[in-house]
Amino acid sequence: MKSCEDGTKLRHWLTLASGMLECLCFAGVVFGYASLVFVLKDDGYFSELCVSNVSLTQAGEQTSSDCRDQDEQFSLVFTIASFLNNFLNLVNGFLFDRFGTLVTRLLGISLYTTGTLLVAFSSADVSQMLFPALSCIAVGGILLLLTNMQVGNLFAAHRSTIITLYNGAFDSSSAVFLIIKVLYERGVSLRSSFLVMSLCSTVHVARTLLLMPRTHIPYPLPQSYTYGVNCGKDNSYNVEQVERKRETSRTPDQNLKQEETLSYLFTCEIVFMCSEVSFRSCALSWFFLGHFLWLSLMQLRHYLFIGTLNATLNRLANNDQNLVSRYTNVFAVTQLFGVLCAPWNGLILDRHKGKPRVDGETEQEADLRSSYLSLFLTSLQCLLFSVCASIPLLPLQYLTFSLQVLNRSFLYGGNAAFISIAFPAGHFGKLYGLVMSLSAVISLLQYPCFALVKGPLQGDPFYVDVTLTLLTLLVFIHPLYVFIHCRRKAQSRKNTSRAEVSTDSRLSEAKL
């Protein structure tokens, strides 16, 4: 039995480490698109959209190229891929909650492999293949992340830290396209790089079968829980089975106590935190609506920045390709630090773990209380990032890149962690998918913004950037609401405690 327990602990750590590598090397590569665009342009993708202009100078005729339509096509590729990356999360969430890890991961691996093969066998003559290719890579990658975030349930004391760590690795994986760009400049073809990525799918399949559960990892984790290849009987049951087992095992006193607790929760208007609440109630709660606004506005700012980065650098560098290449490399390198920035957010969320809670405060309320600082810091980072991105000064973009990766790592890790804290575990996949899908609809605004910059604004994004910066101020509503809610809860506990003390005093006096 002891050897089995040791084997289970080792399996937990192997699952954590292998999931980290999977997210770091594959899951979010599509967000390194700026580096890939540099390679695709050099290979002549969409080059037929460039128009040659001949102008007369003192030295004679001078020919220049107008590639605005080419830039617009590259932006459209990323817009569609990033939209599907989020919008299909609603389907992904239902799929994950209903069919479990095995089915979800196999679908994700299939999509990811299809995407990498489409890029490998594409060419400048069939540039349109980039549309389905990047979309498949994006959707397959987010499925890998979705199934990996449950690994945090294996380490209860560091659950939020692990969720944010995986999201940080997801962000850092965008540097993979930088590696492909560097290899391309040294003679390695785009086809060879993507064929290698396709072959790596065999590793994903092996990990799915050996180190991941067939259904879900429950939270809190039962002592008898096992998964994958083990020395005992497989006990990879799903979250719903765990909840039903807890319900049937309660004593009458426990059931009565739970009914009183539920009544109190309903009175305090936090119905959505109850384990029996419906998905619809969760989706219509103010917490979810505020979180949707918080995520959507910041995500739109990031998507527009990434999708237009190559065109922006060309404008600020006066089309100096060496300078553009250098800044593109710097941007891609900064993405590597996402995996280092994200755990800071997790530590903020988990800072109360192991400390005594306030009298009458549940673990879920303590988790929620720790979240408003994380939400506020993420909002502040986005505001600073947006201000820097709005200033048309090329050297300042070094600071912009740093703030962007810091904020992005906080944003997506905090998004998943907050949903896992504020809502029932049985609805995590659906709610995560719903908020990502709704935010994807908002992210479609990046394309008309890009068209506005390229058309009426004649390539100058200043007014669009200022407008988005002002809209970013709205994201502070969410942390403020969570803070007020927690303060009201604390005050309610104090009033309840005083009322109980007063009642006990009156009963004592009556007995005397």
> Averaged in consecutive runs of 10 residues, what is the pLDDT profile of the chain (512 residues)?
66 92 91 87 88 59 70 86 83 86 94 95 92 94 91 83 85 87 91 94 93 85 75 47 49 44 35 58 89 93 83 85 87 81 81 68 76 91 94 92 90 85 80 86 84 79 88 93 85 72 65 59
The residue with tokens 């389907």 is 91
CA–CA dist 216, 222 (Å, integer) = 12
Contact between 38 and 83 under an 8 Å Cβ cutoff? The reply is no
- pLDDT at position 436: 84
CA–CA dist 468, 33 (Å, integer) = 22
- pLDDT at position 207: 93
Contact between 435 and 415 under an 8 Å Cβ cutoff? The reply is yes
CA–CA dist 29, 22 (Å, integer) = 11
For residue 330, what are its two tokens?
Answer: 């710097």
- pLDDT at position 504: 64
Contact between 85 and 139 under an 8 Å Cβ cutoff? The reply is yes
**Residues with Cβ < 8 Å from 11, sequence gap 6 or more?**
211, 227, 228, 230
Q: Partners of 51 in the beta sheet?
A: 66
3-state helix, strand, coil in the chain (%, to 5): 80, 5, 20
- pLDDT at position 120: 94
Residue closest to 451 by CA, chosen among 143, 68, 137: 68
CA–CA dist 482, 122 (Å, integer) = 48
Identity of the residue numbered 231: C
488-to-106, 346, 386 alpha-carbon distances in Å? 45, 25, 33
- pLDDT at position 382: 94
For residue 316, what are its two tokens?
Answer: 């600020």
- pLDDT at position 500: 65
DSSP 157: G
CA–CA dist 466, 457 (Å, integer) = 13
Q: Is the peptide bond before 132 cis (omega within 30 degrees of 0)?
A: no
247-to-100, 201, 251, 255, 444 alpha-carbon distances in Å? 22, 40, 9, 8, 44
For residue 121, what are its two tokens?
Answer: 């066998």
